[in-house]
Amino acid sequence: MPAHETRRLAEFAVHLAFDDLPAEIVRSARNTIIDGVACCVFGSRFPWSRNIIDYVESMYGPGGTSSILAPHRTGFHASGAALINGALAHAFELDAGTRKGVGAHPFGTVFTAALPVAQSLGASGRELITAFVAGSEVMLRIGKATGRSNEHRGFHAPGTTGPFGAAIACAHLYKLDLEQTLNAIGIAGSLASGLRQFSKSPSGGMVKRLHFGRAAEGGVLAAGLAARGFDGPHDILEGEAGFLKVFCDHFDLDQLTLGLDSGVFHMREISMKTFGTHGSTQGPLHALLDVFSRRRVTPADIKRVSVEVSQESLDHHAGREPLDLMQAQYSIPFCIALACVRDIRDPRSIREDALFDPAVSSMLAKVDVRCGAFADKRTCRVVVELWCGETLEAFLQESASEWKPASDASVFAKFEMLMRDVPADRAQLLLEHLQRLEMQADLEFFSLLRP
């Protein structure tokens, strides 16, 4: 008998209610949203973000009821707002991913679609959170089923799995029935796209941000068409020419529904970023700052910095001489060198001038990145040798037993840092509303971002 995995996921999404959500999942969703809103606001300053905002305004015009997550005077229609929001979320490598590395970014691809639809429908905070969880859970399960083999083939996971999560979230807000939700998932499968050549090419880094925007926009399109009777294949995930068999070298079909009927929520694995750099650099940077927290070290004190990472991290993120900011954010040696010279915790320190800063270049010559015998992709070791002969070391092992979700305090501190250019009273009021999102009768408070 066929397992009908796509149908089971659709049934889960259709029937999910806010009261079904454990308190820790509501908290995870709320903190992910707080973090993501600030990431969008900060990301709106960059030229690639302005390009997309300008494009949507020129092609579709403003005038809708949906706010974009940036200081902007006008509202947009839901589809255009989703395209903008998704691109803003990942504009500077700051939005949350997941601990086990399924290549999924729940806020960047799911919430960015759900918010404009929720605003257009006059939905409540509870409805928005529930839709966000429904979409994120489906997307994370699809990501786990791929085993990231789609990324190994050259696809970019947020662009390929993101439309599914966004479509589910929007379908939930539209209150689509089971058949309509299956259609939305089926349509989303034909909107999955995004290639990782940007990480291999000397140019083209801007396109990475577009993958998030297109995923969010695609989810709005899929759910909106399904609501109007447009159909799609109901076995889009497991089918003979479906997503898993076409996009992946290998996959685990059981991961789509494992624990689905026993209350297993994968949103527990959402991991907030501390630095405006790629996920594979986060561990080494944390380890380096751990060293610096125990001993005051100046750049002149450092003789050598040795970094051991997994083979996967070494293969993809060891480039030494980045040509643009995106490549710099991907480069472990460059990020380590920058962190020795500037405050890497503030993304404002990662600027174009860092690529040509003699102090960074001098430090980069002292950084050695090699492969360690680590089973866990995120495990790493950093050793700092000083000219005085002293050696400082930090070992970071991101195992399941040691991992903990981000604290409220760390999320709020990051929000405050990223929102520094927004009037303090407005930023504080927005944070207070987001902290009580499940109690909000409507989402009008997002207008606080409008100048």
d(CA 98, CA 275): 15
* In this structure, CATH architecture of domain 5-272+406-449: Orthogonal Bundle (1.10)
pLDDT of 318 strictly over 60:
no
Closest CA to 193 of 250, 148, 226, 150: 150
Q: What is the bridge-based pairing of β-strands 380-386 and 391-396? A: antiparallel
Percent of the chain having pLDDT more than 90? 80
Q: Cα separation of 181 and 14, whole Å?
A: 7
Average pLDDT over residues 147-168: 93
Tell me what the pLDDT averaged over the chain comes to: 93
Side chain identity, residue 271: S
pLDDT of res. 201: 81
Residue 398 has pLDDT above 90, yes or no: no
> If we measure between CA atoms, which residue out of 160, 163, 169 comes closest to residue 187?
163
Whether the CB-CB separation of 230 and 183 falls below 8 Å is answered with yes
What does the pLDDT read at residue 187? 98
* Architecture of the domain whose range is 279-396: 2-Layer Sandwich (3.30)
Can you tell me the distance from the alpha carbon of 419 to that of 409, in angstroms, rounded to the nearest whole number? 15
Helix, strand, or coil (residue 318)? coil
pLDDT of the residue at 325: 87
Nearest Cα residue to 404 out of 20, 21, 24: 24
Higher pLDDT, 374 or 166: 166
Place of tokens 């380096």: 288
Residue 385: what are its φ and ψ, rounded to 5°?
A: -100, 130
Quick: pLDDT tens for 285-314.
999 999 999 999 999 999 999 999 988 777
Q: Which residue has the tokens 């009777």?
A: 229
What pLDDT is attached to residue 203?
82
Q: CA-CA distance, 320 to 377, in Å (whole number)?
A: 20
Taking residues 262-267, report their average pLDDT.
93
- CATH 3.30.1330.120 maps onto the chain at 279-396
Residues of each domain in the chain carrying CATH 1.10.4100.10:
5-272+406-449
Q: How many CB atoms lie within 10 A of CB 353?
A: 7
Q: Can you give the pLDDT at residue 1?
A: 37
pTM for this prediction: 0.95
d(CA 167, CA 180): 11
